[in-house]
Amino acid sequence: MDPMMHDDEVPTDAALIRRLLVAQFPQWADLAIEPVRGDGTDNAMYRLGDALAVRMPRRPGAVAGIEREQVWLPRLAPQLPLPLPLPAAMGAPGEGYPWPWSVCRWLEGETLAPEHLADTGRLASDLAGFIRALQAIDAGDAPRGFNQGRGAPLRGWRATIGERLSWLADLENIGAITAAWEADAAAAAWDGAPVWLHGDLSAGNLLAREGQLSGVIDWGLLGVGDPACELQVAWSLFDAPGRAAFRDAVAVDTATWTRGRAWGLAMGVLNVSYYRERSPAIAAPGWRAIEAVLADHARR
Among left, alpha and beta (phi > 0; psi -120 to 50; other), residue 163 is alpha
Q: What is the pLDDT of residue 261?
A: 98
Which pLDDT band, with edges at 50, 70 and 90, does 272 fall under? very high
Q: What is the pLDDT of residue 2?
A: 47
Instruction: Give CA–CA dist 111/199, Å, rounded.
Output: 17
**Average per-residue pLDDT for the chain:** 93
Mean pLDDT of 245-273: 97
Q: What is the pLDDT of residue 115?
A: 66
Which pLDDT band, with edges at 50, 70 and 90, does 1 fall under? very low
Mean pLDDT of 261-279: 95
Q: What is the pLDDT of residue 61?
A: 86
Which pLDDT band, with edges at 50, 70 and 90, does 211 fall under? confident
* Of 180 and 61, more confident: 180
Which pLDDT band, with edges at 50, 70 and 90, does 274 fall under? very high
Q: What is the per-residue DSSP string for the chain?
A: -PPP-STTPPP--HHHHHHHHHHH-GGGTTS-EEE--S--SSEEEEEETTTEEEEEESSGGGHHHHHHHHHHHHHHGGGSSS----EEEEE-SBTTB-S-EEEEE---SEE--GGG-S-HHHHHHHHHHHHHHHHHS--TT---S-STTTTS-GGGGHHHHHHHHHHTTTSTTHHHHHHHHHHHHTSPPP-S--EEE-S--SGGGEEEETTEEEEE---TT-EEE-GGGGGGHHHHH--HHHHHHHHHHHT--HHHHHHHHHHHHHHHHHHHHHHTTT-HHHHHHHHHHHHHHHHHHHH-
Q: Judge contact between 293 and 180, C-beta under 8 A.
A: yes
Q: Judge contact between 76 and 223, C-beta under 8 A.
A: no
Mean pLDDT of 213-218: 94
Mean pLDDT of 274-282: 89
* Minimum mean pLDDT range among 109-118, 192-201, 251-260: 109-118
Q: What is the pLDDT of residue 4?
A: 63
Residue 133 pLDDT greater than 80, yes or no: yes
Query: Which residues lie closer than 8 Å to 74 by C-beta, 6 or more apart?
Result: 86, 87
Q: What is the pLDDT of residue 273?
A: 96
Q: Quick: pLDDT tens for 2-34.
A: 456 677 789 999 999 999 999 999 999 999 999
Closest CA to 47 of 1, 14, 88, 95: 14
Q: What is the pLDDT of residue 146?
A: 66
Q: What is the pLDDT of residue 111?
A: 87
Mean pLDDT of 141-149: 80
Residue 76 pLDDT greater than 50, yes or no: yes
Q: What is the pLDDT of residue 39?
A: 55
Which pLDDT band, with edges at 50, 70 and 90, does 134 fall under? very high
Q: Quick: pLDDT tens for 98-125.
A: 999 999 999 999 888 766 667 888 999 9
